[in-house]
Amino acid sequence: MEQSLLPSKMKLNVVKIDGSKSGDLTAEKSVFGIAPNAAVVRQAILAELTNMRQGTHATKNRAMVNGGGRKPWKQKGRGVARAGTTRSPIWRGGGVVFGPEPHGYSKKIPKKVGKLARRSLLSSKAADGSLLIIDELKMESHKTSEFVTILKNLGLDGKKVTILVTGSDLNLDRATRNLKNVYLVEASKASAYDLIDCEIILIDKASIAVLTDILKQ
């Protein structure tokens, strides 16, 4: 008996900028409807956080601290322990033993793993209602107060939101830059960390098409 194939498409709700429903969007199920792979997501997030580290941590060893150029007292005859320098690690203000030294951090993952992690996160957000698709997101003004009104209309006031856009919009960039929990990210450059570090992903239909072209199998 032949097994029927699952449809490769799925329907996602689309809203207008005022919060009212606009219609449905046909999306790729391989991008927005897969079973999330938590292990792959964890691997991608750890790699990204590792690559964010600057590696500038440092301590001074006994060769770097000031002082200690001469012997603090004679070797014998004082009834105390011998000492050759005040820079010894056992002295207050002495050098640090086996302290951290500057070095680079780098962790690479295969491209397929990174794409699977992003597909998993998009699917997870779509499944629990945390992926909000807007018909079109354009600002006629650069005023932050107007964008706050848009967030209220969409029911996103007070939530941590990642906005995925296509191309540059100076008004939108200026309107969102002072908002504490709102992050504007170009859809083609969105990483797994961008997708997971938010409560809601706000995305327009043009960015859905961009992500589909990049991530679909």
Same domain, 119 and 181: yes
What's the structural domain count of the chain? 2
* 8 Å CB contact between 199 and 178: no
- Do 144 and 174 belong together in one domain? yes
Query: Which residue is listed with tokens 């992003």?
Result: 118
Each residue of 95-112: pLDDT tens digit?
Answer: 999 999 999 999 999 999
- My answer on whether 85 and 35 are in the same domain is no
14/38 same-domain check: yes
Residues 95 and 136 in one domain: no
Q: How many CA atoms lie within 13 A of 63 on its CB side?
A: 2
What CATH number has the domain bearing residue 40? 3.40.1370.10
Same domain, residue pair 132 and 100: no
**Last residue within a domain, chosen from 70, 104, 138:** 104
Quick one: 169 and 185 in the same domain?
yes
My answer on whether 86 and 148 are in the same domain is: no
Where is the domain boundary, 83, 104, 125?
104
The pLDDT tens digits of the residues spanning 120-153 come to 999 999 999 999 999 888 888 899 999 999 999 9
Looking at the structure, do residues 100 and 120 belong to the same domain, yes or no? no
Residues 47 and 70 in one domain: no
Residues 21 and 121 in one domain: yes
Record the tokens describing residue 211, joined without a space.
């992500």
Secondary structure (DSSP) of the chain: -PPPPPPSEEEEEEE-TTS-EEEEEEEEHHHHSSPP-HHHHHHHHHHHHHHH---------TTTSS---S-SS-SSSSSS---S-TTSTTSTT-PPSS------------HHHHHHHHHHHHHHHHHTT-EEEES----SS--HHHHHHHHHHTT-TTS-EEEEESS--HHHHHHHTT-TTEEEEEGGG--HHHHHSSSEEEEEHHHHHHHHHHH--
The per-residue b/e assignment along 76-107, b for 16 or more CB within 10 angstroms, e otherwise, is eeeeeeebebbbbeebeebbeeeeeeeeeeee
Name the pLDDT band for 1 (thresholds 50, 70, 90).
very low
Residue 1 lies in a domain: no
pTM: 0.81
How does the average pLDDT of the chain come out, rounded? 90
Spatial contact of 93 and 65, defined as CB atoms under 8 Å apart: yes
pLDDT, mean of residues 62-70? 86
pLDDT band at 6 (very low <50, low <70, confident <90, very high): low
73-90 pLDDT, tens digit per residue, is: 999 999 999 988 989 999
State the residue range of the domain holding 24.
9-53+109-215
